[in-house]
Amino acid sequence: MGRVYNDQYYTKKMPDGTRKRVYVSGWYIEHTDATGRTVRRKGGLSEAQAKDSLRQAESEVLAVKNGIPTRSAGDILMRELQQRYLASLKTRASDGHSKRVEAYIRELVTACRFYSVKDLIPDRVEIYLDQIATEDNLGSTAINARLDAINAMLAWSVRARIIPYNPLDCIDKRELDRKYIRRALAEDEISNLLAAALDGPRRRRMKIHQNRPRKDGSFKPYIVPLFEQAHLARAGRGIALTYRLMLEAGLRVNEVRCLQWPDVDFATGILHARAIWTKNGKDEDIPLTPGLNDALTRWKAEHETGTQKVTGAVVKITSRTLDRFKDDLDAAGIKTPDSAGRVVDLHALRHTFGTRLGRMPGIDPKTVQTLMRHADPRITFCIYVHSDKNRLLSAVNLLPALKPATPKSESSIAVALKSGTHDEKIEAVPPSFRQGISSGTSKALSKNEVAGNREVSSHPRGQGFESLSAHI
């Protein structure tokens, strides 16, 4: 047990060897630490402060004996926190994603001078993000990526009980300033694009040689040799299959690049997306359409020679794939950007997949979200599922026509006229008509005059009622 005491004097040895009593104001504590050593130190200026210090010291000793960390969360070094988070991230994310997150976190920690957790001040991050947005001309997507990286690390630290809360969760993301908006392809545009992809290698070869002069200086149309036509046709089928994997399976460009033949199950028609190359870092089973399954089967048969099985990539995507895609768009007559400023790129093929799913009758929104592999349905239906004016007009035209409604007042008048009880049920006359008669400057009409007197027809209000009865 520790103790609190007040020694106002102690003996101090002076430089000349003599001893002197020195007065000290304050209270002291004495306790035994976790190693069994006696510790004496100042606890405060009053007895209450010293008792509080003694209780805190004894609780820290007890925590050390029980294996509970006693270091304050603010004293944790950012370097240590970053290493632990990245080690956990690499076990559930791809190498490319882990490297990008590491680069973003290191950038913010260095630029904002985050040495320990207590240095995580939101104002520093806000100032730095504004600086790179102005000086480096970075868009909102790039800025939000840096903010998401460090927030993900701090959120993981909270879940791991390393820090009590995330001090940067109060920073709002930047609003998206999209430089361009993608659009989905129409059905006829899809057919034209695939046809242009099949003929793409031969067409591009013709462009290379069509303006090349002969030795004598004359020009002659280039004819593709027979031995080269088969190779170009095979390359065209590979490019068309690349587009179909995005159009009919909704794969991203990197997912198509990483797709291997063992990932395709032809018997069940399932494509196994591996967590190592998917965007969300999860294993997914993607169903294949019958047409795409047959195309993959034929494509695999072309690459198999004898008993040797293919195990490599299904299709090859290189740096020239984007240039070939632009050439295929021009050959298919697809303008990008269009009159509304919307563009068509390789990722727009995935937009087309989601839009076609959303337009199919009988498919519920949850199925569309699952096939698109989105965690948030707002991403699916606010970004990937597009609509157009023709589809909106068709949807409105499907509404059933409204039946004409008859006001209750007019129905009562018609019943009264047919039954001959209009003398007794004057309430059938519209209120506006009665008010007009009572407020007019002419002579007030009686019930009989309203119902059947021929002089009513000479009155302007009487003519209106007579015409209303004839209309009913």
Select 74-159's CATH number: 1.20.120, 1.10.150, 1.10.8, 1.10.10. 1.10.150
- Look at residue 465 and give its three-state secondary structure: helix
Residue 207's closest CA among 217, 225, 221?
A: 221
160-172 residue pLDDT tens: 888 888 999 899 8
Encoded amino acid at 435, one letter:
Q
pLDDT top residue among 74 and 358: 358
CATH 3.50.50.60 assigned to 182-212+223-396: no
**Residue 226 to residue 437: CA distance in whole angstroms:** 98
In which band, very low, low, confident or very high, does the pLDDT at 444 lie, cut at 50, 70 and 90? Answer: very low
Q: List CB contacts of 174: < 8 A, sequence separation 6 or more.
A: 129, 133, 140, 143, 144
Of the candidates 244, 231, 242, 246, which has an alpha carbon nearest to the alpha carbon of residue 201? 231
Judge if pTM exceeds 0.85: no
Contacts of 178 (CB under 8 A, 6+ apart): none
Question: Is 445's pLDDT higher than 50?
Answer: no
DSSP of 191-253: HHHHHHHHTHHHHHHHHHHTT---TTS--------HHHHHHHHHHHHHHHHHHHHHHHH---H
pLDDT number for residue 328: 92
Q: Which of 284, 282, 280, 258 is nearest to 271 (CA)?
A: 284
Q: Are 256 and 321 in contact (CB under 8 A)?
A: no
Write the DSSP symbol of residue 305: B
Domain boundaries, the chain: 3-70, 74-159, 182-212+223-396, 409-442+451-471
* Half-sphere exposure of residue 283: CA atoms within 13 angstroms, side-chain side: 3
Is the pLDDT assigned to residue 333 strictly greater than 80? yes
Side-chain-side CA neighbours of 361 within 13 Å: the count stands at 2
What is the mean pLDDT of the segment spanning 431-454?
46
pLDDT above 60 (res 418): no
d(CA 220, CA 212): 8
Following DSSP, what letter does each residue of 323-382 receive, concatenated?
HHHHHHHHHHT--SS-TTSEE--TTHHHHHHHHHHHHSTT--HHHHHHHHT-SSHHHIII
Which residues make Cβ contacts (< 8 Å) with residue 468, sequence separation at least 6?
410, 413
**Angle at CA of residue 246, ends 242 and 248, nearest 5°:** 110
Q: What is the pLDDT of residue 72?
A: 65
For 92-128, how does the pLDDT look when each residue is reduced to its tens digit (9 = 90+)? 887 888 899 999 999 999 999 999 888 899 999 999 9
